[in-house]
A and B are shown apart, each in its own frame.
Chain A
């Protein structure tokens, strides 16, 4: 895989079979109804059960809506992937305006893969994949590949991009 900065976004090229499949799975992982995934993407926020119930009542639907709208952007970019001329690989273009959606969706996909494959913190270490089965090894490769994509986007991200809101925090 190679990455290039275009005028109004990022280009990811040299994407062959497994890479393309892994990227195409990102929205599906984010939408997974598996309880392990939902539990990680929508974690408990309060210790108190009644407070937690109220939190879930008002915060969860909003978060789900946000995840879905990010999925739509990611899906749109994936659908626009093009085969590179005279090559079997594909080219993905991520517009600057979609970077934030991609970053969080990639993170969600990595978390989902981790949860769905019963991976542990040890597996994430440098030589962690040596001690797991082939299915987990494949999941780890996918997690690390998605981290590469995330890293490429983060490396070039303007760290003073606008805040989520304009209210100064009290801390």
Chain B
């Protein structure tokens, strides 16, 4: 068996990825049908938010037409989007602009 070839300095130098994955926003959009109390309840259930925070976000959806309800890693954002859609909240994902 041949011994492993000694690695050159360039080969052993770890590559540093300077382009960090950007965070993603989970956005809930207003719809005229879904009850406000239902939306608040879903936010509490999905994110574990306290009632006052869930209510504030629900009111933002209602008044502004949309609200960023969570921001973070894409994989997690997708999990939350799917959970919100499972409760029929109008949900989309967008990357956070640098």
Contacts and interface: CB of A to CB of B under 8 A. Distances in A.
A164 B69 CA distance: 16
B85 A43 contact: yes
Contacts of A55: 78
A132 interface: no
Interface in B22-64: 31-35, 37-38, 41, 44-49, 51
A47 B37 CA distance: 29
A170 B88 contact: no
Given A111-B31, A163-B48, A104 B88 contact: yes
Given A163-B46, A169-B47, A169-B48, A45 B70 contact: no
B86 A63 contact: yes
Interface string A27-61: 00000000000001111111100000001000100
A121 interface: yes
Classify chain B: how many residues form its interface, as a range: 35 or more
Contact of B35 (A47, A151, A159): A151
A43 B88 CA distance: 9
A108 B85 CA distance: 10
B37 A45 contact: no
A141 B34 CA distance: 15
A154 B37 contact: yes
B88 A46 contact: no
A43 to B, nearest CB: 6
Contact of B33 (A62, A143, A159): A143
Contact of B94 (A47, A66, A108): A47
B85 A147 contact: no
A171 B79 CA distance: 14
22 contacts: A43-B90, A43-B92, A44-B92, A46-B93, A47-B92, A47-B94, A62-B82, A66-B86, A107-B34, A111-B33, A111-B88, A114-B33, A143-B33, A154-B41, A159-B51, A163-B46, A164-B46, A165-B79, A170-B71, A170-B72, A170-B76, A171-B47
Interface of A: 40-47, 55, 59, 62-63, 66, 103-104, 107-108, 110-111, 114, 120-121, 124, 143, 147, 150-151, 154, 157, 159-161, 163-165, 168-171
